[in-house]
Chain A
Amino acid sequence: MSNQSEDALHLSVDQLAAHLERRLHGAERKAVVAHLVECGECRREYIATGAVVGAARPRWTGFRTGIGLAAAAAVVFALMPRTFPRAATTVAPDVAMQRTSLPDVPAPIRLAAPAEGERLTGSDVRLSWHPDGDDVLYRVTVQTDAGAVVWKTETHDTSSTVPPDAPLTRGMRYYWIVDALHADGRPARSPATSFIR
Chain B
Amino acid sequence: MREPTDVLPDEIANFLRGETHDTREGSWSSFLARHNRLLLRVAYAAAMNREDAMDAYAVVLEQLREHDGRRLRAYRADGRSKFTTWLVVVSRRICVDHLRQKYGRYEPASRDATNIDRTSRLALVELVGGDVDPASIADDNAALPDGALRTHELSARLDGALGALSDDDRLLLKLRFDDDLSASAIGRLVGLPSAFHVYRRLNGLLAQLRAELSAHGVESAEP
Which residues of A pack against B, CB within 8 Å? 1-2, 13-14, 16-18, 20-24, 30, 33-34, 36-37, 39-41, 43-55, 57, 60, 86, 88-94, 96-97, 100-105, 137, 139, 179, 181, 183-185, 187, 189
| Chain A to chain B contacts (Cβ below 8 Å), 5 pairs | A20-B89, A21-B85, A49-B88, A91-B5, A97-B85
Given contacts A23-B79, A33-B167, contact A185 B191 (CB under 8 A): no
Output the nearest chain B residue to A22 by Cβ-Cβ distance: B191
CB interface residues, B 181-197, toward A, < 8 Å? 181, 185, 188-189, 191-194, 196-197
| Chain B residues within CB distance 8 Å of chain A | 3-5, 9, 34-35, 37-38, 41-42, 45-46, 74, 76, 79-86, 88-90, 92-93, 96-97, 108, 111-112, 115, 167-168, 170-171, 174-175, 178-179, 181, 185, 188-189, 191-194, 196-197, 200-201, 204
A189 touches B4 (CB 8 A): no
Bound form: Cα–Cα A88–B3 in Å: 7
Q: Which of A14, A33, A54, A92 meets B80, CB within 8 Å?
A: A14
**Distance in angstroms between the alpha carbons of A167 and B17 in the assembled complex:** 60
Main secondary structure of the interface of B (DSSP, over half): helix
How many A-B pairs have beta carbons closer than 8 Å: the answer is: 154
Known contacts A17-B85, A96-B84; A34 and B167 CB within 8 A of each other: yes
User: A86 contacts which chain B residues (CB < 8 A)?
Assistant: 3
Closest 10 CB pairs of A and B: A17-B81, A185-B201, A18-B80, A103-B191, A40-B112, A17-B86, A33-B167, A93-B84, A50-B189, A90-B4
B189–A189 CB distance below 8 A = no
For A39, the closest partner residue in chain B by CB is B112
Given contacts A37-B167, A93-B83, A57 and B188 within 8 Å (CB-CB): yes
Nearest-CB distance from A41 to chain B (Å)? 8
Tell me, in angstroms, the Cα distance from A93 to B41 when the chains sit together.
14
Q: Which of A47, A60, A137, A187 has its CB near the most chain B CB atoms (within 10 A)? A: A187
| In contact, B196 and A52 (Cβ under 8 angstroms) | no
CB neighbours of B108 from chain A (8 A): 40, 44
Q: How far is the CB of A153 from chain B (nearest CB, A)?
A: 12
Looking at the assembled complex, report how far the CB atom of A113 sits from the nearest CB atom of chain B, in whole angstroms: 22
Q: Which residues of B contact A40 (CB under 8 A)?
A: 108, 111-112, 115, 178
Residue of A nearest to B7 (CB): A90
Q: Contact check, B41 vs A55: say whether CB atoms are below 8 A apart.
A: yes
| Assembly CA distance A49 to B192 (angstroms) | 17
Which chain B residue lies CB-closest to A7? B93
Q: Across the interface, do A48 and B188 meet the contact criterion of CB distance under 8 Å?
A: no
* Cβ contacts under 8 Å, A94 to chain B: 34, 37-38, 84
Q: Are B38 and A97 in contact (CB under 8 A)?
A: yes
Tell me the bound Cα distance from A55 to B44 in angstroms.
13
Instruction: Give the residue name and chain of the A residue nearest to B76 (CB).
Output: A14
A37 touches B171 (CB 8 A): yes
Asked if B4 and A103 make an inter-chain contact with CB atoms under 8 angstroms apart, the answer reads: no
B134 → A minimal CB distance (Å): 18
- Contacting residues, chain B, for A179 (C-beta < 8 A): 193-194, 196-197
Which residues of B are found within 8 Å of A43, using beta-carbon distances?
Answer: 171, 174-175, 178-179
> Do the beta carbons of B174 and A37 come within 8 Å of each other?
yes
Q: A14-B86, A45-B93, A53-B85 are in contact. List 18 more A-B contacts (CB 8 A).
A: A1-B97, A17-B88, A21-B80, A37-B167, A39-B112, A47-B189, A89-B4, A93-B34, A94-B34, A94-B38, A97-B38, A100-B85, A179-B193, A179-B194, A179-B196, A183-B204, A185-B197, A185-B204
